[in-house]
Amino acid sequence: MILAKNLAKEYNNGVLALQDFSLKIEKGEFVFLVGPSGAGKSSFLNLVIRKEMPTAGLLEVGERNVARLKKHEVPFFRRNIGVIFQDYKLLPNKTVYENISFALEVIEADAWKIKQRVNYVLEMVGLIHKRKEFPAELSGGEQQRVSLARAIVNRPHLLLADEPTGNLDPETSWEIMELLREINKGGTTIIMATHNKGIVDRLRRRVVAIEHGRLIRDEQKGGYNYED
Amino acid sequence: MKIKTLNYFSCEAVRGIFRNRLMSLAAVGTITMALLLFGGFYLITSNIHHLGKMAKGQIEIRVFLTQSAPGKKVMEKRLAAIPGVQKVRYVSKEEGAKILSQLLGGGELFLEGENPLPDSFNIQTDDGSDIDAIAARVRKISGVEEVVYGQKFVKFLNLILRLLWLVGTILILLAIFAVLYIMINTIQLTVYARRKEIEIMKLVGATDWFIRWPFLLEGVYLGITGAAVSIFILIEGYTILYGKAKSITAALPLLNSVQITTDLVIFLLAMGVFFGAFRSVLSIRRYLKV
């Protein structure tokens, strides 16, 4: 699914976010990215979604060389990838339903498909009864569930989660993790950047640790093994 | 492009306008102010040009003939053939003497039969024609002794018109910069409100044009609104001023509002659409680079 070889990312201000970074992630895997703040976790996710361009090395996502994507191909490339963030990134002036349908509307999906898919994912994240409410009327956990629903509504092959539980209490975090596991069981590859030791240690999935832009540990069924 | 998508763009554009009412109002306000400036300036310059043309049109060219000049009919034909010449009137030496005598307070000027004045023609030119060029051509016709017209006055008028044109161009350019500056500044706020939306659209895979269209339409709608408001104000205001000016001196050669309406409407609508669209394109450009 993802292949990184000697990947490097240097920002204009000279900061080396990633260097000599090699990693292979198979289809259907669930991978935790751990490491201190500023280690390069988010930079890696930004490269995967082609929000930023690598400065050196190779990065293939779904067998496509990200650096070689033409500008007009990028939107279509992104339609295979779902993303969720720590701050949910919901539109405050749209209802729960609209926030999710929006993701399908902007890729010009058919009306019947939009209705069917949005109701399906709302059912899945358990918020069908709140579809007419606005984000401000929801709890943090509920907002993240809406964000998650939006990320998967187009059935992406890959789901990127950047600190999805960062703003949530432990109990709500587990609800989100349950959903992510559910989605992963359906075959979607998940890469999750996190600082949540409890979750990483308990789920025992593949753990990739990054420090100063370098991959320093990659273990199957790993633990967090960090002191934040 | 699907019809549903077109509909979506249009709805989003209208929604965008009402969602950011204050910013939309500010945008319409800026565009209106800018267009009032342009329109007002347009009205002033076109009236001055009109005035200048009228003044030039009223200048007569006096053509004095040589003693050996061919007959009246032949000369009249030659003069009338010059492009820009509207009317040619023959003034015989007798008539010339009469006019001169009247100018000098009446009475006999010359001894009977010893009128030294040449035969002459008065030429009226078309409005807006180049009086200097016409005079030059008249001078070349054989049989013409001398050509007299208000050369100095025409030169002065030309200078004034050229000066006005220069000042006008500079003012328009300054106005364009001022308007763009104001627009760019108000845009920052509008886009700040929308950057999250654009970011999400990009992340879920919307194409750049899909993102641009509603913004573009929104800008065009705002531009047309601003143009409509400024057209209304300008035409109403101009009609009132025109009436007032005419009531003071009816002889003032001003363009009436019918004469200016078509040009003004086209000019301002085009400018409005341009400003509106420009504002939108500029505002989202930075945020599309995600």
CA distance B155 to B138: 18
Phi, psi of B59 (to 5 degrees): -80, 130
- Nearest-neighbour CA in chain A from B194: distance (Å): 10
Fold classification of A30-45+79-219 (topology level): Rossmann fold (3.40.50)
Beta bridge partners of B125: B85
Q: How many CB pairs under 8 A join A and B?
A: 50
pLDDT at residue number B127: 64
CB B151 within 8 A of CB B74: no
Give CATH for domain B60-149.
Answer: 3.30.70.3040
| pTM assigned to the model | 0.70
Which ranges in chain B are annotated with CATH 3.30.70.3040? 60-149
pLDDT confidence bin for B195, thresholds 50/70/90: confident
Q: Do A72 and B207 touch (CB under 8 A)?
A: yes
Q: Any idea how long chain A is?
A: 228
pLDDT in tens, B201-228: 888 888 888 888 888 888 889 889 999 9
Q: Do A105 and B8 touch (CB under 8 A)?
A: yes
pLDDT in tens, B132-165: 788 888 888 888 888 888 777 777 877 887 888 7
Nearest CA in chain B to A46: B290
Instruction: Judge whether A49 is closer than 8 Å to chain B, CB to CB.
Output: yes
pLDDT in tens, chain A (228 residues): 999 999 999 999 988 999 999 999 999 999 999 999 888 999 999 999 999 999 999 999 998 999 999 989 999 999 999 999 989 999 888 899 999 998 998 888 898 999 999 999 999 999 999 999 999 999 999 999 999 999 999 999 999 999 999 989 999 999 999 999 999 999 999 999 999 999 999 999 999 999 999 999 998 988 887 765
- For the beta carbon of residue B227, count every other beta carbon within 10 angstroms: 27
Q: Do A93 and B19 touch (CB under 8 A)?
A: yes
CA distance A169 to A141: 8
Instruction: Judge whether A89 is closer than 8 Å to chain B, CB to CB.
Output: yes
Q: Domain extents for chain A?
A: 30-45+79-219
Q: In 3D, which of A147, A133, A62 has the Cα closest to residue A102?
A: A147
Instruction: Judge whether A51 is closer than 8 Å to chain B, CB to CB.
Output: yes
Position B290 pLDDT exceeds 60: no
Residues 148-207 of A with CB under 8 A from B: 150, 154
Instruction: Judge whether A102 is closer than 8 Å to chain B, CB to CB.
Output: yes
From chain B, the residues in CB contact with A108 under 8 A are 2, 4-5, 210
Beta bridge partners of A219: A207
